[in-house]
Amino acid sequence: MNGENASGHSAGPNSGPETGTRDPDALLRRAGVRGDPDHDQHFLVDDRVLDRLPGYAEEADVDLSHVLEIGAGTGALTDRLLAVADRVTAIERDPDLAAFLREEFAAEIDEGRLTVVEGDALEVDLPDFTASISNLPYGPSSELAFRLLPEGRPLVLMFQREFAERMAAEPGTDDYGRLSVTAGHYADVEVVEPVPKEAFSPPPAVQSAVVRTTPRDPDYEAPDVDFFMDFLKAVFTQRRKTMRNAVRNTAHISGLGDPDAVVDAADEDLMGRRAGDVTPAEFADLAALAREVGEPGEHPSA
């Protein structure tokens, strides 16, 4: 987006040196840090990828009045987000990097456009954000995704490519699984760009990919979401078995007291299929039936 955004801040290639033009390698030098693969620390340094990330939200007409960034690092993406957003909240768990961000972006902080939160994004209180655009650390990426998805906000997130493809997979494909159904419960999910290892410093051992999610209500009823998620977790632990056996064998995970009653009451054709061939709507219907006839106890801890 060239010119100015709704808040009047310059954006895109015409923006001033304060937002949108900081060189990622220079940021690393000023911060005096190098990535550490042993601590899941890989900095995104490819200008082209960094420049494109906010665009995936802009082209979907996402509200960028308050963007949340998780894992801000040295601020290369933060800089691009400030060029298009009214406000940015950046969460960074490394105390030294959080201190660097407060120094590097002191002007933007003074203007009230940037807030730096030092802490673990799985533990800190999240602000009332309108969208999240983030290069997530690989280690907790699953937990972070499922903290963000229930918030019902548009997301543009960088993941390990295999994880991204499983998030967006369709029933009957090799990548389809619990992750696909769970993510799809909250949003439409699409992989918008593969990202090579060389885009990071140091390069990780795996390829990455950018995922865009668009929140929406599911096209099925899931009256007890907690039980639905426990049920999915259970049956997908035995995805190579028929649903009949998967339901019977995983009551200790799903919390079912009478899995045989579920198998007897369910559609016989469905019970003969494997989890990878069952649609989200069919899972929801089966979970509702299981809750009705299977005498669920307390939900097992996640």
Verify that 21 and 168 share a domain, yes or no: yes
Please, what is the Cα angle at 214 between 64 and 236, to 5 degrees?
Answer: 140
- CA 254 to mean position of chain CA atoms: 24
120 labeled part of a ligand binding site: yes
Verify that 206 and 276 share a domain, yes or no: no
Rounded to a whole number, what is the distance in angstroms from the first to the last CA of the chain? 42
- CATH code of residue 173: 3.40.50.150
Dump pLDDT digits (tens) for 72-103: 999 999 999 999 999 999 999 999 999 999 99
Q: Does residue 108 sit in helix, strand or coil?
A: helix
Say if strands 200-201 and 43-44 run parallel, antiparallel, or are unpaired: antiparallel
How high is the pLDDT of residue 297?
59
44 labeled part of a ligand binding site: yes
Verify that 36 and 138 share a domain, yes or no: yes
Q: Single out the residue in 189, 215, 241 at which a domain terminates.
A: 215
Give residue 124's domain range: 12-215
- CA 27 to mean position of chain CA atoms: 25
Looking at the chain, list the stretches that DSSP marks H as alpha helix, in order from N- to C-terminal side: 24-31, 47-58, 76-82, 95-104, 106-110, 141-148, 161-167, 178-186, 225-236, 243-249, 251-254, 259-265, 268-271, 280-293
Q: Give the separation between CA 72 and CA 192, rounded to whole angstroms.
A: 21
14 labeled part of a ligand binding site: no
Verify that 206 and 268 share a domain, yes or no: no
Verify that 148 and 56 share a domain, yes or no: yes
Q: Give the separation between CA 168 and CA 170, rounded to whole angstroms.
A: 7
Residue 4 falls inside a structural domain: no
Dump pLDDT digits (tens) for 154-183: 999 999 999 999 999 999 999 999 999 999
Q: Provide φ and ψ at 168, rounded to 5°.
A: -95, 5
Instruction: Match 């993941």 to its residue by tokens.
Output: 159
Q: Single out the residue in 215, 247, 269 at which a domain terminates.
A: 215
Residue 5 falls inside a structural domain: no
Handedness of CA 270, 273, 274, 280 (dihedral sign): negative
Residues 133-160: b if buried by 16+ CB within 10 A, e if exposed: bbbbbbebbbebbeebbeeebbbbbbbb
Torsion angle of alpha carbons 256, 260, 266, 270, nearest 10°?
Answer: 90
How high is the pLDDT of residue 40?
72
148 labeled part of a ligand binding site: no
Q: Give the separation between CA 207 and CA 38, rounded to whole angstroms.
A: 17
Q: Give the separation between CA 234 and CA 12, rounded to whole angstroms.
A: 47
How high is the pLDDT of residue 138?
87
**Tens-level pLDDT at each residue, the chain (302 residues):** 333 443 444 443 333 345 788 999 999 999 999 877 766 789 999 999 999 999 999 999 999 999 999 999 999 999 999 999 999 999 999 999 999 999 999 999 999 999 999 999 999 999 999 999 999 988 899 999 999 999 999 999 999 999 999 999 999 999 999 999 999 999 999 999 999 999 999 999 999 999 999 999 999 998 789 999 999 999 999 999 999 999 999 999 999 999 999 999 999 999 999 999 999 999 999 999 999 998 765 544 44
9 labeled part of a ligand binding site: no
Q: Is residue 140 within 8 Å of residue 122, measured between CB atoms?
A: yes
Query: CB atoms < 10 A from the CB of 270, how many?
Result: 18
Q: Give the separation between CA 75 and CA 217, rounded to whole angstroms.
A: 34
185 labeled part of a ligand binding site: no
Query: CB atoms < 10 A from the CB of 257, how many?
Result: 11
Reported pTM:
0.88
